[in-house]
Amino acid sequence: MSFIQSIILGLIQGLTEFIPVSSSGHLVIAQTFLSGASDHLFLEFINLGTFLALLVFFRKKIWTIITDIVVHHKFRLARNILITAVPAGVVGFLLAGFIDDTPQFFGSAVVVAITLAVVGIIMVVIEKLPHASEVKSGENLTGWRAFAIGAAQTLALIPGVSRSGSTIIAGRLAGLKPAEAAEYSFLASLPIMFGVTVKTFVSDHAYLTEHLGTLALSNLVAFISGLFAVGFLLRYLQKHSLAVFGWYRIGLAVVLGIILLIQYK
């Protein structure tokens, strides 16, 4: 992989990991057209940059959560984050081998086109769907609502769904306002991203050694662009819905579908 390709993939990862248009979907598309195939391990390794971006962006919030636990013995937000993280963590762990051994599905541009469209339609109509009673923040979620958001997060194992998209949608349906749903989505992703990072570095260190230069560059770009993307989305959702991202997803799915049909013929 060239350094230019590494920069492109790092930029896509950083922007689309947090903006709810699916980082995995965009990376599969980019790798398919840049190199002809999707490299699942490379995509897992460049999670590090976006994980570090979240830690830096939410450093004060994370410190507040730690202080609440240790000093004030307030566990509710931390409890909810863990409850939300458990379903995707368990399913991801159990299916890790299957995902690695099934690139024809988890690296498929056809799957990405379908999931981009389906989730995009949900984003467009979500404000018209029934919502649970309003809650102020992720800390005020009941355990069952936190679990429901976590169950939605498991769908992000399918490329094109979007982890942030699935959890923000579930957060909205669970009663959170758009910006609060996004913040809770990002905080709840930290345990998952930490687990994925540790698992990847422990089990695939040979791949890391072989591609160290390109991975370092991609992660640096992902870190910088990820900081921008988190701040942008939280500001945007203070006054807007997810609809614009839904329409973008639908438009991209249509374009991708046309390209795939042309290639098939």
Q: pLDDT tens across 101-142, in order?
A: 777 777 778 888 999 999 999 999 998 888 888 999 999 999
Q: Is 202 exposed, middle or buried, given 0-12, 13-18 or 19+ CB atoms closer than 10 A? A: exposed
The pLDDT of residue 168: 95
38-76 residue pLDDT tens: 566 777 888 899 999 999 999 999 999 999 999 989 999
The stretch 228-257 carries a mean pLDDT of 94
133-187 residue pLDDT tens: 899 999 999 999 999 999 999 998 888 898 999 999 999 999 999 999 999 999 9
In 102-242, which residue ranges form alpha helices assigned H by DSSP?
Answer: 103-106, 109-125, 143-154, 163-173, 178-203, 205-210, 212-236
The pLDDT of residue 31: 75
The pLDDT of residue 97: 76
Total Cβ atoms within 10 A of residue 217: 20
Q: In this structure, which amino acid lies at residue 258?
A: I
Q: Is 254 exposed, middle or buried, given 0-12, 13-18 or 19+ CB atoms closer than 10 A? A: middle
Residue with tokens 């094109």: 160
Give the C-alpha separation, 238 to 218, whole Å.
Answer: 30
Residues in the chain: 265
Q: Token digits for 153?
A: 């997060």
The pLDDT of residue 173: 94
Q: How confident is the model at residue 18 (pLDDT cuts 50, 70, 90)?
A: very high
pLDDT higher for 38 or 255?
255
Residue with tokens 């994925």: 196
Total Cβ atoms within 10 A of residue 50: 28
**Start-to-end C-alpha separation, the chain:** 29
Give the C-alpha separation, 95 to 16, whole Å.
Answer: 24
191-221 residue pLDDT tens: 988 988 888 888 777 878 888 888 999 999 9
Residue 174: helix, strand or coil by DSSP?
Answer: coil
pTM for the full predicted model: 0.90
The pLDDT of residue 39: 67
Q: Is the pLDDT of residue 95 over 90?
A: no
The pLDDT of residue 125: 94
Mark residue 162 as left, alpha or beta (left: phi above 0; alpha: psi -120 to 50; beta: remaining): left
The stretch 228-256 carries a mean pLDDT of 94
Give the C-alpha separation, 131 to 189, whole Å.
Answer: 22
Sign of CA dihedral 153, 154, 157, 160: negative
The pLDDT of residue 198: 86
CB 188, CB 12: distance < 8 Å? no
The pLDDT of residue 35: 66
Q: Token digits for 258?
A: 């046309």
CB 260, CB 110: distance < 8 Å? yes
The pLDDT of residue 129: 87
Number of H-type helices and E-type strands within the chain: 15, 0
Q: In this structure, which amino acid lies at residue 117?
A: A
Q: Is the pLDDT of residue 36 over 60?
A: no
Mark residue 36 as left, alpha or beta (left: phi above 0; alpha: psi -120 to 50; beta: remaining): left
Domain limits, the chain: 3-264
Q: Is the pLDDT of residue 19 over 60?
A: yes
Q: Is the pLDDT of residue 99 over 90?
A: no
Q: 3-state SS string over 214-241?
A: HHHHHHHHHHHHHHHHHHHHHHHCCCCC
Nearest CA-CA partner of 15 in 256, 179, 241, 233: 233
